Amino acid sequence: MKSKAVVLVGVILLCALATINGEERPGFSPLVTKESRRTLTLTESGGITAVDVHDGCRGSYHLQFITLEPGSLFLPVLLHTDMLFYVHTGRGTVTYISEDETDEIDVVRGDVYRLQQGTTFYVRSHPDPTREKLRVHAIFDKTDIEDPLGFSVSAYSNLSDMVRGFDEKVLQSGFGVSEEAIRGLKWVPTPPSIVPTTHENETEKGNRKEGMLEALLGVGGPTVVMNKKTTKAKPYNFFKAKPDVANRNGWSTAVTHEDLQALEGSNLAPFMVNLTRGSMMGPHWNPRATEIAVVIHGQGMVQMVCPGDPSGKVDGGFACRNAKFKVEEGDAFVVPRFHPMTQVSYNDDTFVFVGFSSMAGNNHPRFLAGKSSVLRALDRDVVAASFSAPNASTIEGLLASQGESIILACTSCAEELERSMGEDVERRKEEEEERKRAEEDAKKREVEEAR
Ligand SMILES: *[C@@H]1O[C@H](CO)[C@@H](O)[C@H](O)[C@H]1NC(C)=O
Ligand SMILES: *[C@@H]1O[C@H](CO)[C@@H](O)[C@H](O)[C@H]1NC(C)=O
Ligand SMILES: *[C@@H]1O[C@H](CO)[C@@H](O)[C@H](O)[C@H]1NC(C)=O
Ligand SMILES: *[C@@H]1O[C@H](CO)[C@@H](O)[C@H](O)[C@H]1NC(C)=O
């Protein structure tokens, strides 16, 4: 027991120090809004936006939101780090070539899959123009690609750049093709990352060169030209699977490598939570995992408690503080491990988020409230003492009255939290002003005394 407590304190200190010293590391912010995404690519065929999130500790993640119009092609890239993706809308095909296999998977809304670092892949959206756009949320673990000096390389590099980087002579011999073929490849402008799929239209400008590149890379042909093992992998679909927890207040599913073999050895695992109107994910914490979630439907409130300092006092400006914030569709939020949290839906809509948790393999969320509360496992007198409750029976009452576990009813809770969030902001403003006034007074007094 004692050694565990020491380890826990050590971890919190480590994370705090990393944030204080690491000026090259941007500060920890639990809320990363949709507005803060930056645009990496935007063409008629689609676009990519991205944000970086940090867990205030060791972890740093890159999120990309990739949109393909129907009948588009996300050109081949080589992954520098693992990529986990969720298909938000639409349909498409992901073709990948890894060290020991070549595969093609059809993806639909609700699918998740993992591609390992070193994999080359490209994505085609369903060609039917009446179909929905293919929208993919992808997460990349940056721990692997960030060196201690703070340099970070991109999550992937595009294949065309890698090929074109070589001298013509090298390419000509390397591919065993004519000089003209290589010229055609090298001297056309670099295509954007997302282009229309134009195999059917041979008249279109630039098509010949693209066709060349695609031929080189084995793209677009009837089958991928690779004589290695070809398996038929299947993604995991949240909407087709049975949830881990389901009751009238909502459902929640966490995917493990037993559900999706491609997750084996992954540092990240996906999960999804759907809270119906006026419910909450009961207060809980993750002993091993940091959660990075993206809101895919509706809006909700998130409350997070800083485990180091329950008063939420900010020490030296670093960011471990209690937080309460509203999230809307497209926003991302991060909850570091050991931080007790709750997510709450409003009375008028469901609140759905898809997320990725780090080190999920051994993580078992621990709940504070509800039938599965860890407090129920502790001696009542001890719990009573921890809360300065008058006696054990008051605690008994506190713990026994909630008949449900994990996902609980919580009518008007989000509304109430949002209101108190406004009050908190007001109060903080007042406190800040008060502090400034006091400082000025102190200065004045000093000046007077000096006289
Ligand atoms: C490849 O990457 C470069 C930047 O390194 C970018 O300008 C270009 O549009 C990319 N092309 C493709 C096909 O992704
Ligand atoms: C092929 O491309 C040309 C030029 O962009 C366009 O006018 C034509 O309609 C296209 N044909 C088909 C079948 O898509
Ligand atoms: C969430 O659950 C509600 C109620 O079961 C359902 O109507 C809704 O479609 C679900 N939303 C998603 C995105 O799965
Ligand atoms: C426990 O404390 C409550 C509140 O002070 C009181 O009403 C109750 O009688 C006490 N019960 C026992 C068993 O002491």
Q: Which tens digit of pLDDT belongs to each residue from 102-160?
A: 888 999 999 999 999 889 999 999 988 788 999 999 999 887 676 655 555 688 888 87
Q: Which homologous superfamily is 240-370+405-426 in?
A: Jelly Rolls (2.60.120.10)
CA distance 377 to 268: 29
Given this model, what pLDDT does residue 182 score? 80
Ligand 3 centroid to Cα of residue 299, in Å, is 13
Beta-carbon contacts of 197 under 8 Å, excluding residues fewer than 6 positions away, are: 71, 72, 73, 124, 127, 220
Residue ranges for the chain with pLDDT beneath 70: 1-27, 56-58, 144, 146-153, 198-232, 308-321, 359-363, 377, 401, 403
CA dist 150 and 181 (Å) reads 41
Q: Is 426 in the pocket of ligand 2 (CB under 6 A)?
A: no
- What is the rounded CA–CA span in Å between residue 335 and residue 313? 18
Q: Is the CB of 161 under 6 A from ligand 1?
A: yes
Distance 201 CA to ligand 2 centre (A): 6
Q: Which helix (H) or strand (E) holds 122?
A: strand 120-125
Please, what sign has the CA dihedral across residues 256, 261, 262, 266? Answer: positive
CA 250 to ligand 3 centroid distance, Å: 8
33-228, CATH topology level: Jelly Rolls (2.60.120)
Distance of CA 345 to the CA centre of its chain: 20
Q: Residue 265's pLDDT is what? A: 87
pLDDT of residue 406: 80
Q: Which of 247, 346, 352 to mutate to test the pocket of ligand 3 (most atoms within 8 A of CB)?
A: 352
pTM of the prediction? 0.79
Taking the CA of residue 251 as reference, the ligand 3 atom at the shortest distance is 2
- Is the CB of 158 inside a 6 Å radius of any atom of ligand 1? yes
Is there an atom of ligand 3 within 6 Å of 297 CB?
yes
Decide: 117 in ligand 3 pocket, CB within 6 A: no
Q: What is the pLDDT of residue 223?
A: 39
**Domain coordinates of the chain in residue numbers?**
33-228, 240-370+405-426
> Fold match between 33-228 and 240-370+405-426?
yes
**CA torsion angle 127 128 132 136 (round to 10):** -20
Q: Which residue's CA is minimally distant from atom 5 of ligand 4?
A: 390
Look at ligand 3, atom 4, and give the residue with the nearest C-alpha.
276
pLDDT at 17: 38
Distance CA 388, CA 385 (A): 5
For 224-242, the pLDDT digits (tens) are 444 444 556 789 999 999 9
> Whose C-alpha lies nearest to ligand 2, atom 2?
204
The pLDDT score that the predictor gives to residue 222 is 37
Contact 270, 112 (CB under 8 A): yes
Q: Is 204 in the pocket of ligand 2 (CB under 6 A)?
A: yes
> Phi and psi at residue 318, in whole multiples of 5°?
-85, 165
In this predicted structure, what is the pLDDT of residue 329?
Answer: 96
Task: Kindly state if the Cβ of 203 falls inside 6 Å of ligand 2.
Answer: yes
- Residue closest via CA to ligand 4's atom 10 equals 391
